[in-house]
Structure 1
Amino acid sequence: MSSIRRHRLAALGAALAAGSLALSAAPAVAVTGGTPVAGSDTTYAYTAKIVVGAHERGCSGVLVDPEWLLTAASCFAENPAASLSVPAGVPVKPTSAVIGLSGTQGTERNVVEIVPRTDRDVVLARLNRPVTNVTPAQLATTAPTAGSELGFVGYGRTKTDWAPLQPHTGTYTVDSAAATSAGVTGKAGAAACMGDTGGPVVSGGKLVGLNSRSAQGGCLGVDETQTSTTGVIARVDDLGSWIGENAGATRIVDFNGDAVEDIAVGDPMATVGGETTAGLVRVVHGGGKGNAEITQDLDWVPGGAEAGDHFGNHLATVDYNEDGYTDLVVTASEENVGSAVDAGFVDILFGGKNGLGSGPAARHFEQGAGNGSIAASAPETGDRMGASVAAGTTAEGKPWVLIGAPGEALGSLAKAGAAFYVHGDTNVSINQDTSDVPGAAETNDAFGTSVTGDSNFIAIGAPGDAIGGDANAGNLAVLSHKLGADGRPGVVTGMDQDNEKISGGAEAGDKFGQALAMVAYRPSGATTATDSILAIGSPGEAMAAETGAAQQAGAGNVILVHIKADGAWDYMHALNQGSSTDDRSGTIEAGDSTGAALSAVNTAPRAVGSAATLKIAVGVPGEDLGDATDAGAIHTFSLLGSAGAEDLWIEAGDGDGIPGAPHTGDKLGTSIHFTPRNLYAGMPYGPAATGALHVLPFPNAVTGGTSRPATTYQPGKGGLPAVGDYFGYSVR
């Protein structure tokens, strides 16, 4: 029932004539003898017209979620007459879809991921951006029954039209029903034709199935002696849970588009081509598909490996060009640009079928080049562009990258700091001299030391900012993705510890905002993830272990803030180690540096947020364990639960997945990255001389979970080259 090019018609027609129910295999047209849908009729607006390749196939589909279509696997199968097997991941051929088409109007999207069923002719197809102007179809909850009537819709050919612009409708009578399919016969001469494959089949306005196979009697191009209108539909009434699980899942890092998670690990101190501390990134492809090494000496990576570049010191991931392959944002914040020492730059390396480097040419960002604010800003010694980086997509699905340059001078103000917001084909600068940005630019503010963001907001930290005369007390700015008249993200608010909403007060050396983490979540009563939780690390904060006890310098603290959809915000509570009078793990001690690194995660972003779904990992790299000074630890908490009720303490050798025993100078907690699947704990400082990365399954990293075997990546093991210096310094 899918349409394909005319030069394949004869072969396909023979196959159709040979079998009473031949598989349909491509997209295109409409229902034979059916009724064209009027341009003003939005009843079937959720129906999609799908084009595979250079119009090699055409199918129909149905929007079942703002980001997902249901359609037929046969639309994507290499030879649907022989097999409906379809590989998961990015479609083999570029695929587009138009949803809500009426005449020539509709919302066009690209299909960037396929999730196939193995038991029926069905796939889920993820779109590059949500469709917000069409209401998705609702699934039926009961199976079709023999003798009942079903309506069906598609863009397949008709008796007379090869490729109509409007969908057509027809009616089936159900002949029989099986576990995953149903046999049907078209009424009044209506039959599903090529191009109707994957189109919706409805009962009482609810989606019960998809067009799958048809005898195609009366369809254009089919032998006139073929008059049967029998067919088979793929049932979908029992797929609600499967659809919900996939639609509600967070995206994995997948550089080669095979639907298996990949890992990128930075080693910014690595020697490359004899150049010490030039830096590199190692990629471990999931599914045993090998490893790759990325350096600036590769011809597709901008620049060249030089001593002190520190390439790979910070990483972020996003599908920036919206093709389904994950792209890697890599910084080299100590890169010299011309005569400007440590000016720094950033690259977006694009994924493709064969991994990073097999996609489009890299996007390169260095001051004084390109366009936008980055081009208008001259590289200067010590700018350290790329000393922090974050990336993601907005609620509308638009990709963005946020780059910190904490050493940026503003006029005569050295190291005042700045950040660059990159979106589309342009970028804008943000600093404390920018209109409405809270605070005033001052020497050594280091605005841009930390950056974070989610689908709603971004935040930029200035831990060097003096508050009320207290040097290095720190503050931050929160902005939205909604651009103002000047093209910059709109300012939402600023925060420091002298704010009346925040417990405590600004003190010299707190370094409030040294680390940041933000995650979007859906509050009770909302239908989407409109709100955000911002975690703010103050690793220099002095804390008392007991009420009335002496302050422990540099113990560290983390503050949680709830930012509402309208930008209003409230202080939630603090996260820190325990005392004898509470139930938190650990003990507040001088020099722990709690909050030096942060990573937050929402394991169920579509669901109402809960203590079980919103988690944060807090780095405690200065923790002393026994005689091991600065051995380090990781402390995980719930973002919505009380601080001690659901916290978990992780240190080397405690059974959670970090092997061995604590050693002096390991500084566990320096490099952390939390996902709904794993907690990645980098140990660049030891005890392995090369550095290492430990991957703890999610249950190992949260209270109440059943521990599973952890995985360690280390140079010299698992196919990785046996050379490394700070392997695990960064990971995505």
Structure 2
Amino acid sequence: MSPLTEGSENVPTRRFRLARSTALLAATAAVGAFTSTPAQAVAGAPVTDDAYAYTASLLIGDTQRACSGTLIDPEWLLTAASCFADDPSSSLAVPAGKPQRKTTATIGRSDLTGTDGAVREVVELVPRTDRDVVLARLNRPVTNVAPVAMATTAPTAGEELKLAGYGRTSTEWVPLKLHTGAFSVDTSTATTATVTGKDGVAACMGDTGGPLVRVAGGTHQLAALTSQSYQAGCLGVDATVTDTGGIAARVDDLASWVNSKVGAVRITDINCDGTEDIAIADPGAAVGGGNDAGLVRVVYGGGKGTAEISQDLGWVPGTSEAGDRFGESLATVDYDEDGCTDLVVGTPGEDIGTAPDAGMVDILHGAPSGLGSGATKVTHFEQGVGSGSLASSASESGDRMGHALAAGTTAAGVPFVVIGVPGESLGSVAKAGMAVYAYGTTNVTFGQDSTGVPGTAEKDDGFGSAVAADANHMVISAPGEAVGSKADAGTLAVFRHTLNSEHRPTALFGLDQDLDTVSGTAEPGDQFGASLALVPYRPSGAVAATESILAVGSPGEDVSIGGVDKVDAGMAHTFRVTSSGTYSELNTYMSGTADDDVTGTSEAGDRFGATVTAVNTAPRAVSTTATVKMAVGVPDEALGTVAKAGAISTFSLLGAPGANDVFLEAGKRGLPGTAGANQSLGSSIHFTGTRLYVGMPYGPSSYGALHALPMSNVTAGEAVTAITTYQPGQGGLPAAGVDFGHTAR
């Protein structure tokens, strides 16, 4: 029996240029009965239409390897793990995370000399361990090629499957056109199927990972991926090899696995190894003798150690100085689209020249060896420096640039950062505030004096005090805004990411409590918008999560309980924001009375809503009460006689507030310790896709601490399981700190 090829091979030197241009790869011979090569239909016909547009050509390394793949989601390919294995003849094991070699995917281009389809970089691998299959995430979604549906039944003996691939033919080392051919299924096992090419068709080097599809009535379903082939008739293969058979990796039973990976919330993965990392800020830390200089501690997942990041590092802009508060705000985004999470750090107390507390922001770029180890270490934002609108502005005393941060990617896959500058003076209007929208290599500033933005820039509005954003919308609040004559009543503005004629985000509408469509009444000190959270929302019947749910904290709201006003008891509101730019209020939330269905009681000074965080744990699926969640911080909650012990209430963003609420306090639902005066539990909260981060910077530990609660611990009716605690003096973290846990991402 002739050897079967598996995986990919080195491209001969004389064909480097051509291999690069076509993104094809020859295969490395495997040891034993079969060898591995990318498959292609040697005798198959070139594709002249877009029926197989979902097929991808993969170039792995500059010229080292080439394979084929299949678009099964706008952001994801399925291909063969052997394409990325160091030595596929001995092992198909592939590390999760960023590919070790730069990998370029060309999708939807049947002729590689054309310009149709899309070219993307593969930035993350999620391998199977039971078969030659890997999920490959693209740096941006492909919007002009339809993904292929996955089959749900196994290939059966005698069934015909069609192979598409960019591998060799009988006459071309590196063909420029996609070819297809028919294969007959011989047998199936739990993870593979043996196939035989019809009419002399065989899979060749460069076809590994290519789709084997079931075609019925013009509909294509992905049943398997090409894995190994005898390569009869392939250019360069001995003419004595006549077997057109091969082995395919089944994928018809992988829909659940694919959906769990494709539909998951992106983790913080700074060193891009597929394991979740965490960054925890201690902005009050003394660094280099300067109190409140601030630092951030990173704990790399998988036991890969910790790192201390401060302005005393040579690659971090600025110098650690008293009052800088480096890390007072944090956000995460893969800004440079390389598969490594980048950490956005606000330093609102930074003095710029002679301007105290002018503030600045830095994107610290992730890399396989951690922060500060890559070729690009930092992207810096400072007024009067760099590009865009910031280059033509100036740092002024009390601007506090970086007081608030949000970051993410738009629905089109464009990374962005939103920066709040609440102390910015607009002309002669002191502390009116503004926001910065950064994307690519540029940025724009906007405020209440910009075209279409609701409200009027006034003294002490503090526009930019809180910011939130998701893939669809962004929100900027001005909790110091006077509504009529009611000082500090608060307001907010909602925007699309789409830029208007001024190249600024497009304003949609404003919200305040004097509107008939918003519960309550604007009153002095309400601080409507003091905290914000925004998550993508997919209503029933919609094909995608193109809407948003907005959560708004109003911690200064006076709440009437039994006819008695509880001053600053606090409240939160939620709103549905549609893709057309309209809104409707969903619910109001408060601790309420002792006998309603929400746990807790509204009391004077609680400041319910001082912080809010929200998450959609399944952003690709139709949203349900189980998948869209909100946590509300009540940092000044008194528990018995313990003043300002603090608490957290969690809710579903859908349904009645009391139907799914959980009340968190120290000593309950996995939170350790007992309630302590001035601990202000709830002052630091953040949802990830799987956990609620609860910072306790004010005790009981003198350094501060952060607890990561599993989702079950904050979900009504679910069991309490073990939490993870990060605390200085434990787990490799130095025994030092002031308010560790102030912020975490």
Tell me whether the two structures share a fold, i.e. TM-score over 0.5. yes
For 1:212-235, what per-residue CA distance to the aligned partner results, in whole angstroms no more than 9, with x for missing partners?
001111111222322321211111
Paired with 2:519 and 2:294, the residues of 1 have a C-alpha distance of 41
Residue 148 of structure 1 corresponds to which residue in structure 2?
159
How big is each residue's C-alpha offset from its partner over 1:641-673, in whole Å with a ceiling of 9 and x where there is no partner? Answer: 20111110000012x122111111100000000
Is residue 2:53 matched to residue 1:42? Answer: no
In 1: Cα distance, 2:118 partner to 2:13 partner: 30
Residue 109 of structure 2 aligns to a residue whose secondary structure is strand
Amino acid at match of 1:143: A
- Deviation, 1:413, is 1.0
Return the alpha-carbon distance in structure 2 between the equivalents of residues 558 and 270 of structure 1: 32
2:319 pairs with 1:294: no
Which residue of structure 2 aligns with residue 533 of structure 1? 549
Q: Which residue pairs with 1:119 in the alignment?
A: 130
Partners of 1:481 and 1:160 in 2: CA distance: 50
Displacement of 1:581 after TM fit?
A: 4.4
Question: Within 5 A, what are the aligned runs for 1:50-61?
Answer: 50-61=58-69
**In the alignment, is the contact (CA less than 8 A) between 1:155 and 1:164 conserved in 2?**
yes
Structure 2: how far apart are the matches of 1:684 and 1:141? 50
Distance in 2 between the 1:15 and 1:110 partners? 27
- 1:276-355 counterparts in 2 under 5 A? 276-355=291-370
1:550-569 superposed matches below 5 A: 550-569=564-583
Tell whether the 8 Å contact from 1:511 to 1:538 is kept in structure 2 after alignment: yes
CA 1:501–1:478 in 2, change beyond 3 Å: closer, same or farther? same
Query: Aligned residues: percent identity?
Result: 57
Structure-1 separation of matches of 2:487 and 2:233 = 82
Query: Does residue 557 of structure 2 align to residue 545 of structure 1?
Result: no
Task: State the 1:441 CA deviation.
Answer: 0.4
Match for residue 81 of structure 1? 89
1:237 deviates by 1.0
| CA–CA separation in structure 1 for the residues paired with 2:390 and 2:714 | 39
- Tell me how far 1:373 sits from its aligned partner: 1.2
Alignment of 1:254-653 (within 5 A): 254-359=269-374, 360-546=376-562, 549-653=563-667
TM-score, normalising length: structure 2: 0.95
Match of residue 10 from structure 2: 4
CA change 1:237–1:409 in 2 (3 A) is same
Residue deviations 1:159-197, cap 9 Å, x none?
111111211111112222211111112122111111000
Say if 1:730 and 1:143 are closer, same or farther in 2 by CA, change over 3 A.
Answer: same
2:658 partner SS: coil
CA distances 1:581-622 after superposition (whole Å, capped 9, x unpaired): 420111000000000011000011111111111100100001
Contact 1:2 1:156 in 2 (8 A): no
| Candidates 674, 692, 701, aligned match of 2:687 | 674
Match of 2:382, as an amino acid? E
Question: What is the one-letter code of the residue matched to 1:651?
Answer: E
Letter aligned with residue 200 of structure 1: P
The alpha-carbon distance between structure 1 residues 594 and 161, as it changes in their structure 2 partners (threshold 3 A), is same
Tell me if structure 2 keeps the 8 A contact 1:331–1:347: yes
Which residue of 116, 124, 144 corresponds with 1:133? 144
The Cα of 1:7 is off from its aligned counterpart by: 5.5
Residue 522 of structure 2: SS of its match in structure 1? coil
Q: SS in structure 2 opposite 1:304? A: coil
* 8 A contact 1:403–1:419 mirrored in 2: yes
CA distance in 1, matches of 2:470, 2:156: 46
Question: What's the offset of the Cα at 1:135?
Answer: 1.2
The residue type paired with residue 119 of structure 2 is E
Q: In the alignment, is the contact (CA less than 8 A) between 1:154 and 1:200 conserved in 2?
A: yes
Structure 1 position 79, deviation (Å)? 0.5
- 1:70–1:123 CA contact under 8 A, matched in 2: yes
**1:712 and 2:712 aligned:** no
Partner Cα separation in structure 1 for residue 32 and residue 684 of structure 2: 60
Equivalent position amino acid for 2:638 in 1? D
* Separation in 2, partners of 1:2, 1:160: 19
The answer for the alignment partner of 1:190 in structure 2 is 201
Counterpart of 2:87, as a letter, is N
1:476-513 superposed Cα distances (whole Å, 9 cap, x missing partner): 11000011111111010001100110111100000011
Report the secondary structure of 2:261's partner residue: helix
Alpha-carbon distance between aligned partners in 2 of 1:578 and 1:8, rounded to the nearest angstrom: 76
Deviation at 1:577, TM superposition (A): 0.2
- The question of 1:168 aligning with 2:179 is answered yes
Letter in 2 for 1:634: I
Query: How far is the alpha carbon of 1:333 from its aligned partner?
Result: 0.2
What SS does the aligned partner of 1:699 have?
Answer: helix
One-letter code of the match for 1:197? T
Look up the SS of the partner of 1:189 in the other structure.
coil
The 8 Å contact of residues 2 and 193 in structure 1, kept in 2 or not, is answered as no
Letter in 1 for 2:556: G
Q: What is the distance in 1 between the residues matched to 2:645 and 2:623?
A: 34
Q: Deviations over 1:334-375 (max 9, x none)?
A: 000000100000000000101111231200001000011111
Comparing 385-394 with 125-134, greater Cα deviation is found at: 125-134
Whether the 8 Å CA contact 1:3–1:59 is kept in 2: the answer is no
SS of 2:633's equivalent?
strand
Question: Residue 231 of structure 1 corresponds to which residue in structure 2?
Answer: 246
- Aligned equivalents of 2:539 and 2:241: distance in 1? 57
- Superposition pairs of residues 202-221 of structure 1, within 5 angstroms: 202-204=213-215, 205-221=220-236
**One-letter amino acid of the counterpart of residue 338, structure 1:** G
Partners of 2:486 and 2:582 lie apart in 1 by 27
1:276 to partner: Cα distance: 1.6
Q: Secondary structure at the match of 2:539?
A: coil
CA deviation map 1:95-141 (0-9, x unaligned):
11011013223201111111111111000111111111111111222
Amino acid at match of 1:207: L
Q: For each residue in 1:453-482, what CA deviation from the matched residue of structure 2 results, as whole angstroms up to 9, or x when unmatched?
A: 111100001000000100000101100001
Preserved CA contact (<8 Å) 2:47 2:178: yes
SS, match of residue 374 in structure 1: helix
* Whole-angstrom distance in 1 between the partners of 2:177 and 2:10: 18
* Structure 2: distance between partners of 1:432 and 1:93: 47
Measured in 1, the distance between the counterparts of 2:98 and 2:206 equals 21
Counterpart-to-counterpart distance in 1, 2:459 and 2:79 = 58
Gap regions ≥5 residues in structure 1: none
Task: Tell me the TM-score normalised to structure 1 length.
Answer: 0.97
| Aligned equivalents of 2:714, 2:566: Cα separation in 1 | 27
Q: 1:263 to 1:14 in 2, by over 3 A?
A: closer
Question: What number of residue pairs does the alignment pair up?
Answer: 722
Alignment partners' CA distance in 1, 2:484 and 2:583 = 23
Cα deviations by residue, 1:505-534 (Å, 9 ceiling, x for unpaired) = 100000011111111110111100011111
- More displaced stretch, 88-97 vs 100-109: 100-109
Alignment of 1:247-258 (within 5 A): 247-258=262-273
Cα distance in 1 between the residues matched to 2:55 and 2:419? 40
